[in-house]
Amino acid sequence: MLFYTIKRLLALIPTLLAATMLVFLFVHLIPGDPASILLGDTATPEEVAALTRELGLDEPLWTQYLIWLGNVLQGDLGTSVFFGTPVLTVIADGAETSILLATMTMVWIVLFGVPIGIVSAMNKGRWIDQITSGGAMLFASIPTFWLGLYLILLFAVGLGWLPSSGFPSLTDTGGVTNLRYLILPSLTLAAPNAALIIRLVRASMLDVSREDHVRTARAKGLRPSRVAIRHIFRNALISVTAAFGFTFAALVSEAVVTETVFSLPGIGRLVVQSILRRDYPVIQGVILVIVVLYMFINLLVDLAYARLDPRISLK
Amino acid sequence: MALLDVENLEISIRFGHELLPVVRGVSFSVDENETLGIVGESGCGKSLTALAIMGLLEGSGVRVTGGRMRFGGRDLLAMSADERRHIMGNDMAMIFQEPMTSLNPVYRVGDQIIEALQQHRNLSRRAARRRAIELLDLVRIPEPDSRVDSFPHQLSGGQRQRVMIAMALSCDPKLLIADEPTTALDVTVQKEVLDLMLDLQKRTGTAIILISHDLGVIAETCNSVAVMYWGRLVETAPTDALFETLAHPYTRGLLHSIPAIDRDVDWLDAIPGRVPTIGEQIAGCPFHPRCPRAESRCRHEVPQPREIAPGHLVECHFPYGGDR
C-alpha cells in the first residue's frame, strides 16, 4: 500500500508538468495584457511598456515558463499582479473558505443523500421512492443562484437566524462560530449534489440487488434492512466512492456561482476574478493547485477502492 | 406426515396487468433422510418451485397464486414474513447454481458463514468463528483455519460451492434445497460435491430436494424423482420405478436425448419441437405437440395424474407400460 502510494505520487510529476505547460499557454492566449488593465484607460503606451518590462512579460513565452517553473519548484508561486502579495497567500486565503465550504457541503450530501438513496432503493416503485426520486430531480434542476437567494431571503432576511454573506476566517474573532456563515452556502451547494448522490446510490443499489449473492444473503433469513445495508449498500458503495471524490474536488474549485451569491472569498471566485484582471501569476497558481487537488483525490479514490473491494489489489 | 408437503402449487408471473401461471398443480412431499430429485429442461419451473418453497420469490414479480405448502406441519403460505425469515437459513436452507457469484465478494467467507450462524443461533463471535471452521472442515476444505479468512475470489468454484454448503448447513437445516448445485462445476468436482451432500445427509438425516436437468445426477443420488414439463409434474415415482418404466413419453425423451459414450450413433434423439412459451394456450395435454404417442384424445383432454403403481404418478393418457 505504501509502496503503491509512493509510486502513484511519483507518477504525478509528468502529469503535473504537462498540466502546467497547458495552463501557461492558455493563460497567455487570453487577449489583453495585465499591464494595461492594471494601469487603466488613461495610461500612456510608455507607462504600459515600462510595467510590462517590470512584470517580466516582455520575455519570450518559454523563458517566462521556465522562470515560473523554477520558482514553483522552490515553493514560490510568484506575486499577484493585482494584490501585490505572494500568490501563495492569496490562494491560502481562498482555500480556507473553499475547503471548509466543500467539507461542510459533503457532510450534508452524505447526511441526506446516502440515507434517502438507500430508502428510495429499498422501496423501489412505492410512493416513498416516487417522492424522493421526484424531489431529487427537482433539486438537481434548481439553479444554485436561485436557491441561494431564496435561502438568504428566508433564513437571513426573513427569520434572521443566519448571516447572509461573507466569511470571516476561523482565526478572526468568533473562531469556530464563524462556520455559521457557511451554513446557507453549503446547503445551497449540497442540494443539487445530494440529489445526484441520491439517484446514484439508488441506481447502484438496484444494480447490486440483482446480483446472486444478495439472494444468498436473503436465504440466510437476514432482516431486509440488514440485507440492504450490509450486502447491497456496502457493495454499491464501491461505485459511489468515485462520485464522492470528484464532487469534493468540484466543490472546492467550481463553486463560483454560490460564492458570488454569498460573497464568499473562495477559490472559484478567485479564478474568475483573476482571469478578468489578467492576474497571470494567480491564475497559474490556482490552476496548479486545483490540478494537484484533482490528482490527489484521484489517488485517494483509488486507495479507497482497494479498501472497499478486496478483489482489487494495489500492485 | 411428511416434513414438506406441497399440494397443487401454482406460481404465476406478472406480465403487465395479467398473471400468467408458470407452475401449475405441482404436488409432492419429502421426508427426513429422503432425497427428491426434480428434473426438467430450463424454464420448466423447477427453480421457481424451489424459490417458492424457500420463500425467496418476493420482489421478483413472480408469486405463489394457489395451492398449499406445509413444512413440519405448519402452513408456509399463512406465515408472516418474519416467521418465514425465522425458518429461512435455519430449518430450511438453499444452495444455488452459481458458486462464482453466490457469495458476497467483499466479505471473507468465514464472516459470511458466521453471519448465517449468528442470525439464528445465540453464539458469541468467537464461538461462531470456531463453528465456521468446523463447518469448513466438514465440507472438506483444506486448512480451514486459514481458509476461513479467505475472500471468495481466492477460492476455486468447487471450494466456493463447499462454502455455500457449509453456510447452508450451519444451522442444521431439516430441509436442504440444492438448485443445480453442480452444474457450474467441473465434472470431477461435481461428483465430490454430490457425494459430500449425501454423506452429510447420512449423518444428519436432512431431507434434500435436488434440482437438476441432469438425469444421470438424479439417478445416482435420489430416492424419488419428479419430472417437470412446462410448469407441471408429469411423472413422479421412486427412482428405481421411474427408470424401469419411463412411463411418461417426456421422461423417455429426456433420457434418450442424453448422448451415451458406449453407443455409436450418428443422430442424437432430441425431443422434436420446442417447449411452449409462457402464456401460450395449448388444448389438451401440454406435451402432445411433441409427443410420439399423441392421439386425438391428447389434443382435447388434459390428463390428470394417475397412479400406475404404488407411489408412481403419471400425467398421461397413454403412458408406456400402461394399458392402451
**Predicted confidence (pLDDT) per residue in A175-222, tens digit:** 777 888 888 999 999 999 999 999 999 999 999 999 999 999 999 999
Whole-number pLDDT of residue A302: 87
Percent of chain A with pLDDT over 90: 34
Give domain status of residue B321, yes or no.
no
Interchain CB distance below 8 Å, B104 and A216: yes
Domain identity same for B167 and B27: yes
Locate all alpha helices (DSSP H) within chain B, ordered by sequence. 46-54, 81-87, 109-120, 125-138, 144-147, 157-169, 187-204, 215-221, 239-245, 249-256, 296-300
Q: Do B102 and A308 touch (CB under 8 A)?
A: no
pLDDT tens digits, one per residue of A123-138:
988 999 999 999 999 9
Its sign, for the CA torsion B275, B276, B279, B281, is: negative
Q: What is the mean pLDDT of residues A269-293?
A: 87
B151 and B256 co-located in one domain:
no
Residue B282 lies in a domain: yes
Instruction: Compute the distance between CA of residue A237 and CA of residue A121 in angstroms, rounded to an integer.
Output: 13
Q: Is B185 on the interface with A (CB under 8 A)?
A: no
Q: What is the ipTM of this complex?
A: 0.90
Burial class (CB in 10 A: 0-12, 13-18, 19+), B192: middle
pLDDT-derived band of residue A287, with 50, 70 and 90 as boundaries? confident
Residue A267 has pLDDT above 60, yes or no: yes
Instruction: Please tell me the total count of domains within chain B.
Output: 2
pTM assigned to the model: 0.85
Beta bridge partner(s), residue B35: B208
For residue range A229-240, list pLDDT tens digits in order.
999 999 999 889
Tell me whether residues B90 and A211 touch, CB distance under 8 A. Answer: no
The span from the CA of B88 to the CA of A224, in Å, is 13
Q: Are B102 and A311 within 8 A, CB to CB?
A: no
Do B110 and B243 have their domain in common? no
* Residue B122 neighbours by CB distance under 10 Å: 8
Nearest to A220 among B89, B105, B153 (CB): B89
CB within 8 Å of A226: residues ≥ 6 apart = none
Q: Is B209 inside a domain boundary?
A: yes
Does B177 share its domain with B218?
Answer: yes
- Say if the Cβ atoms of B103 and A310 lie within 8 Å: no
Residue B194 sits in the same domain as residue B241: no
Which backbone phi and psi does B101 adopt, to 5 degrees? -115, 0
Domain that holds residue B42: 4-222
Cβ-based interface (< 8 Å): residues of A facing B: 211-213, 215-223, 230-231, 234-235, 238, 308-311
- DSSP 8-state code for residue B217: H
pLDDT tens-digit map of A135-178: 999 998 988 889 888 988 898 888 888 887 778 777 777 777 78
Cβ of A309 within 8 Å of Cβ of B105? The answer is yes
Distance from CA of A219 to the nearest CA of B (A): 6
Tell me what pLDDT residue A314 has: 64
Residue B20 forms part of a structural domain: yes
Query: For B246-257, how does the pLDDT look when each residue is reduced to its tens digit (9 = 90+)?
Result: 899 999 988 888
Chain-chain contact of A216 with B167 (C-beta, under 8 angstroms): yes
Is the minimum CB–CB distance between B187 and chain A shorter than 8 Å? no
Q: Under 8 Å CB-to-CB from A178, ≥6 apart: which residues?
A: A167, A168, A169, A170, A172
Report the CATH number at residue B33.
3.40.50.300
pLDDT of residue B324: 45
Instruction: List chain A residues with CB under 8 Å of B61.
Output: none
pLDDT for position A216: 95
Q: Which of B222, B245, B264 is the last residue of a domain?
A: B222
The reply to whether B319 falls in a domain is: no
| Same domain for B153 and B213 | yes
Per residue in B271-301, pLDDT (tens digit) is: 888 888 877 888 889 899 888 888 889 999 9
Domain-located, residue B231: no
Q: Examine residue B57 and state whether it is found in any structural domain, yes or no.
A: yes
Q: What is the number of CB-based contacts under 8 A between chain A and chain B? A: 68
Report if residue B324 sits inside a domain. no
pLDDT > 60? residue B323 = no
Q: What is the rounded CA–CA span in Å between residue B154 and residue B110?
A: 13
Torsion angle defined by CA atoms of residues A111, A117, A119 and A120, in that order, rounded to the nearest 10 degrees: 150
β B18-30/B35-39 pair status? unpaired
- B56 with B131, same domain: the answer is yes
- The grid coordinates of residue B205 equal 438425516
CB contact, 8 Å: B265 with chain A? no
In chain A, what are the domains? 91-263 (1.10.3720.10)
- Mutation site, B104, B112, B170, B180, interface A, largest A CB count within 10 A: B104
Interval B87-133: pLDDT, tens: 999 999 999 988 889 999 999 999 999 999 999 999 999 999 999 99
Nearest to B86 among A211, A221, A234 (CB): A221
Query: Cβ distance A72 to A288 under 8 Å?
Result: yes
How close B28 gets to chain A, by Cα (Å)?
A: 22
Q: Based on the domain organization, do B179 and B278 belong to the same domain?
A: no
pLDDT of res. A311: 87
Q: Return the bridge partners of B7, or none.
A: B68
Name the closest residue on chain A to residue B149, using Cα atoms. A310
- For residues B176 and B304, membership in a common domain is answered with no
Phi and psi at B308, nearest 5°, equal -90, -15
Residues B112 and B185 occupy one common structural domain: yes
Task: Report the C-alpha gap between A133 and B122 in whole angstroms.
Answer: 40
* Domain final position from B222, B247, B266: B222
Boundary-marking domain end, from B222, B257, B279 = B222
- Clarify whether residues B40 and B169 are in a common domain: yes
Query: In 3-state terms, what secondary structure has residue A203?
Result: helix
Task: Indicate whether B12 and B157 sit together in one domain.
Answer: yes
Query: Which residues between 111 and 130 in chain B have a beta carbon less than 8 angstroms from any beta carbon of chain A?
Result: 112, 115-116, 119-120
| Residue that the C-alpha cell 410512493 belongs to | A127
* pLDDT for the residue numbered A315: 58
